């Protein structure tokens, strides 16, 4: 568990915040030099999300979505704004959110709010969101803070809304990345965190066609 790896929470969060301050506000920067996988990533996310946009008991609304760890708005622009009427963005790095206002272009006018905040301190507005999308950012939260954040996300959902986590997973156990001060968990740990947050896992799927040298990336939908 991350409690075994994170000896000093203040240092863990502070180091990550300083790391991202030095990252260029570009798609390649957001993806750690893997900007070329962005199209594949968005296409996979769109297929995954489509399952919850079709008629049926799991269908979600399309009023409002929240992009967590939004960066400059790569996912907001390509995945969320084409589907949802309004999208809110939250990220810890002020420069990224400032860049988003130009990166998003004319559709940026449908961004409701830009929240500059770490997810460990962020409280989604109750009953606001049809979708809360959390991609490549849970590694910057300790287990306890991730459980607590997911509980707050549950409160933030509209009727039949869902939370989606899309992130790297290890083959086994938990691994610390000292460079960007993040944690990578295996699938069992992620499932246990979802359960601890009182959420029900609806769908779990592996992203296809990513480079062999990177971690497996899985999407988890829950409510």
Give the start-to-end residue ranges of the domains of the chain. 2-222
Contact indicator for 169, 136 with CB cutoff of 8 Å: no
Cα separations (Å) of 126 from 49, 78, 80? 22, 26, 20
- The Cα 154–Cα 174 span in angstroms is 25
Beta bridge partners of 88: 66
- The Cα 96–Cα 83 span in angstroms is 22
pLDDT of residue 1: 58
**How do residues 66-123 score in pLDDT, each as one tens digit?**
999 999 999 999 999 999 999 999 999 999 999 999 999 999 999 999 999 999 999 9
Is the overall model pTM greater than 0.95, yes or no? yes
Helices 143-156 and 187-196: angle between axes, nearest 10 degrees: 50
- The Cα 202–Cα 148 span in angstroms is 20
User: Tokens at residue 15, please?
Assistant: 């180091």
**How do residues 179-207 score in pLDDT, each as one tens digit?**
999 999 999 999 999 999 999 999 999 99
- The Cα 119–Cα 69 span in angstroms is 8
Alpha-carbon Rg for the chain, nearest whole angstrom, is 16
**How do residues 31-74 score in pLDDT, each as one tens digit?**
999 999 999 999 999 999 999 999 999 999 999 999 999 999 99
CATH topology of domain 2-222: Rossmann fold (3.40.50)
pLDDT of residue 4: 72
In the chain, what's the furthest Cα-to-Cα distance? 47
């Amino acid at each position: 568990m991350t409690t075994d790896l994170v000896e000093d929470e203040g240092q863990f969060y502070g180091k990550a915040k300083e790391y991202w301050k030095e990252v260029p506000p570009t798609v390649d920067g957001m993806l750690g030099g893997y900007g070329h996988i962005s199209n594949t990533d968005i296409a996979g996310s769109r297929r995954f999300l489509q399952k919850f946009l079709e008629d049926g008991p799991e269908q979600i609304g399309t009023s409002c979505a929240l992009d967590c760890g939004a960066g400059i708005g790569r996912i907001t622009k390509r995945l969320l704004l084409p589907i949802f009427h309004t999208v809110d963005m939250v990220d810890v790095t002020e420069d990224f959110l400032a860049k988003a206002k130009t990166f998003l272009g004319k559709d940026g006018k449908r961004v409701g709010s830009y929240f500059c905040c770490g997810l460990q301190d962020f409280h989604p507005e109750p009953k606001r969101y049809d979708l809360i999308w959390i991609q490549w950012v849970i590694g910057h939260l300790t287990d306890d803070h991730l459980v607590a954040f997911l509980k707050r996300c549950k409160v933030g959902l509209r009727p039949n809304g869902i939370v989606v986590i899309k992130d790297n997973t290890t083959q086994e156990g938990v691994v610390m990345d000292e460079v960007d001060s993040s944690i990578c968990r295996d699938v069992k740990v992620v499932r246990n965190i979802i359960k601890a947050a009182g959420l029900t896992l609806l769908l779990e799927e592996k992203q296809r066609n990513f480079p062999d040298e990177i971690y497996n990336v899985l999407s988890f939908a829950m409510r």
